[in-house]
Amino acid sequence: MFTCVGYAAQNASAPLAPITFQRRACGPKDVQIDITYCGVCHSDIHTVRSEWGPSAYPCVPGHEIIGRVAKTGSDVTRFKEGDLVGVGCMVNSCRHCESCEAGLEQYCDALPTWTYNSPDPVAPVEGDHTYGGYSRSIVVDDHFVLRVPENLDPAAAAPLLCAGITTWSPLAHWKVGPGHKVGIVGLGGLGHMAVKFAVALGAEVTLFTTSPSKVEDGKRLGAHRVVISRDAEAMKAEANRFDFILDAVSADHDVNEYLGLLRQDGHMVLVGLPEKPMSVGTFALVGKRRSLAGSAIGGIQETQEMLDFCGKHNITSDIEMIDINQINHAYDRVLRSDVKYRFVIDMASLPATA
């Protein structure tokens, strides 16, 4: 074991503050990583505040991790000291269920071991839970470590490990590409990555937003068209147009107004996580054999493919860098949608001791 410094919440209403905790020693199949940057995901806030069920405390969030390899175990051959690497939402899975064997560890039948706030079978203290990337270092099984292209800005690459793969996975699974008309609903941390990916994949991309102030930004990011979704006539004009719609909105909203925009056999996929259950009208689905689906992050192989694609096309997230002592204020700003489009923590700002 070794002592690590991080930032944690001690309960659901406490602000994040410095903490020391124990990391496991680097085992034969492990990679020890010195963390340089960590993205701030809205799910960090939900988890810290026990909004998705009771969390384990202290809670050290962070699953958009970029760093350099500090040490490798004796059985590790894919990485060496100094490599630029990333860790996303998972650090383990059962490895033998049908999903894991298909490279879809995010759908593990036994549930993955999430990067933070998850029961940890290899914790240095028995019965402990995982601690995430708001910390100086992390030790991860090499299967769940990802190689990050050196040509990418490492800070701006951090959100690729969650926001990136969350939007890439459905686009890849439904084989979005040239000739497809694609709609992206919402321009936030997820939506802005979806626009970049869909454009780079060769699709004709239309952004749907409730905010007229985001029209120019949507075009800057590559959207070919921008539609204000509060404009009923503008929405009516889009009926039966799209092959694929990716809904990246986590706020409560009516999905039915988008289902009617799909062509026959079109697909709409949800990646946002609204708090309240949705009401879906079946006539919009049945009438044109449309489908409504959901998608969660991506498997390790798929995430590596996404990172390689980003390296080839020089795709990263639009970020605002913060010091770790600004994290509580950053959470408040995330809740106000006051960031374009992802906060990333410079972990060099982490204090030497808690």
Confidence band, pLDDT 50/70/90 cuts, at residue 251: confident
Collapse the DSSP code of 300 into the 3-class scheme (helix H, G, I; strand E, B; otherwise coil) and give the result.
Answer: helix
d(CA 253, CA 278): 8
**Domains along the sequence of the chain with CATH:** 2-162+299-349 (3.90.180.10), 164-294 (3.40.50.720)
Q: Does residue 275 have a pLDDT over 90? A: no
Question: What tokens appear for 321 in the block?
Answer: 């860098």
**What is the enclosing helix (H) or strand (E) of 14?**
none
d(CA 244, CA 291): 10
Of 298, 311, 197, the C-alpha closest to 244 is 197
Q: Which pTM does this prediction carry?
A: 0.95
Q: Is the separation of the CB atoms in 232 and 261 below 8 Å?
A: no
The amino acid at residue 307 is L
Q: Does residue 233 have a pLDDT over 80? A: yes
Mean pLDDT of the chain: 96
d(CA 59, CA 8): 5
Predicted local confidence at residue 122, as pLDDT: 87
Residue 215: alpha-carbon gap to chain centroid: 24
pLDDT digits (tens, 9 = 90+) for 158-188: 999 999 999 999 999 999 999 999 999 999 9
Radius of gyration of the chain (CA): 20
Confidence band, pLDDT 50/70/90 cuts, at residue 273: confident
pLDDT digits (tens, 9 = 90+) for 29-61: 999 999 999 999 999 999 999 999 999 999 999
Confidence band, pLDDT 50/70/90 cuts, at residue 110: very high
Instruction: Print the SS3 string covering 135-166.
Output: ECEEEEEHHHCEECCCCCCHHHHHHHHCHHHH
Predicted local confidence at residue 143, as pLDDT: 97
d(CA 306, CA 320): 22
Query: 8: exposed, middle or buried (C-beta count within 10 Å: 0-12, 13-18, 19+)?
Result: buried
Terminal Cα distance for the chain, rounded = 18
Q: Does residue 354 have a pLDDT over 80? A: no
For residue 82, the 8-state DSSP code is T
Q: Does residue 126 have a pLDDT over 80? A: no
Q: Does residue 317 have a pLDDT over 90? A: yes
d(CA 48, CA 330): 14
pLDDT digits (tens, 9 = 90+) for 203-229: 999 999 999 999 999 999 999 999 999
